[in-house]
Chains A and B, each alone.
Chain A
Amino acid sequence: MASGVKPRVKAPKTAAAGEAVTLKTLISHTMESGQRKDSSGNTIPRSIINRFTCDFNGQNVIDVTLEPAISTNPYFEFIATVPEAGDFKFTWYDDDGSVYEDVQSVAIA
């Protein structure tokens, strides 16, 4: 069970219709690979974020599968076109079954 997990998103509050905006996301997470051993030689169980998605008004923007080699605090930056006012919904799926969510509203300027 990962502790101290906190998603952070940076998205613009407003955009022009049809504008491509940059979205930045980061989730603080240890991303334990499952390959390491502790001081007494036991394998530290894998605990990573295994999937990240972003939807805009229910339509999928990006869907990422994360693998164990990805470092601590995975960061994604991507560009999405905003056709209308609405909500970006960001979702992170943890190995332990937890799901972390964040929503950012974008208005049309």
Chain B
Amino acid sequence: MTRANKTKGLVAAAIAALVALPVVADENAKLIVNDEIEMITEAPAPDHMENMTIIRSGWTFRTKETQALQMDDFENPGMPAVDAAMDAWNTVEGTAGKACATCHEGPESMKGVRAVYPKWNEAAGEVRTLTMQINDCRTTNMGAEEWKYIAPEMVAMEALISMQSRGMPVNVAIDGPVQATWEQGKELYYTRFGQLELSCANCHEDNYDNLIRADHLSQGHINGFPVYRLKNTRLNAVHDRFRGCIRDTRGETFSVGSPEFVALELYVASRGNGLSVEGPSVRN
């Protein structure tokens, strides 16, 4: 082989190597739970989001190991809480002598519920989160004590209800009677809070996928809530997370269950319209 031919051969080999190389990124990993529920983890952004084209589930930002935990219900550490909620579902409480199961039968009847909350309640004339609805059911229909907004029992019950809608796309209404609340939520989303003067958008819109300490910032969707966080080894409610985020800006936070957080929850939920309901999901 002459020198020229040899060089040619090497170049060809190098090109072949380059062509074969495109790295298979984790971003293309598919979330299929229990080998049966296929989740939408990437979708076109809803029309109302001006600054983004693609929305991605928080699951796509996590490491392989954390992702795997969510792909099998046996590995999912949020599931024992769901079992506990299942017991609560069948437990008679309150003066009316009713359990959840008395009216709603099995939790399967809650299919699709999580996907549309928060939503407008005509009778009460207010925007209701799933939490508010559960508590209303407890006080009005069961004559039982309210659960605290982010009490473990409450979050577990939300996980049980969310689970029935797993795989269904989030589809929260933003027009009609909820529009004013939605606008308020949007306003909050873009308001800078705290000494660090950070708005939700500064991290979750401008800097998603970048590192925040050792962690990749997600887009901040709440389709996976309640979330089992490896950090605090329990299920976490949406408002709990909102509060944590605002605290991290070194700001005074709103309290859980406050009208501000309800509005913010509605707006943030609507940003995830099109992604699958994943709760209870696993994040770090």
Residues of A within 8 A of B (CB): 4, 6, 8, 10, 24, 26, 28, 72-73
Contact = CB atoms under 8 A, between A and B. Distances in A.
Nearest to B79: A8
Contact of A24 (B74, B79, B80, B83): B74
Contacts of A73: 77, 80
A8 to B, nearest CB: 7
A26 B74 contact: yes
Which 9 A/B pairs are nearest by Cβ-Cβ distance? A28-B80, A10-B74, A6-B83, A4-B84, A24-B74, A73-B80, A28-B83, A8-B74, A6-B80
Contacts, number: 20
Contacts of B83: 4, 6, 8, 28
B87 interface: yes
20 contacts: A4-B83, A4-B84, A4-B87, A6-B80, A6-B83, A8-B74, A8-B79, A8-B80, A8-B83, A10-B74, A24-B74, A24-B75, A26-B74, A26-B80, A28-B80, A28-B83, A28-B84, A72-B233, A73-B77, A73-B80
Contacts of B87: 4
A28 B84 CA distance: 10
Contacts of A72: 233
Give the dominant DSSP class at A's interface: strand
Interface residues of B, number: 9
A8 B75 CA distance: 11
Interface string B68-82: 000000110101100
A45 to B, nearest CB: 22
Contacts of A6: 80, 83
Nearest to A4: B84
A28 B77 CA distance: 10
Interface in B37-90: 74-75, 77, 79-80, 83-84, 87
A73 B79 CA distance: 11
Contacts of B84: 4, 28
Contacts of B79: 8
Contacts of A28: 80, 83-84
A73 B80 CA distance: 8
Given A4-B84, A8-B74, A10-B74, 13 more contacts: A4-B87, A6-B80, A6-B83, A8-B79, A8-B83, A24-B75, A26-B74, A26-B80, A28-B80, A28-B84, A72-B233, A73-B77, A73-B80
Contacts of A24: 74-75
A64 B233 CA distance: 25
A79 to B, nearest CB: 16
B159 to A, nearest CB: 14
A30 to B, nearest CB: 11
Nearest to B87: A4
A35 B80 CA distance: 24
Nearest to B84: A4
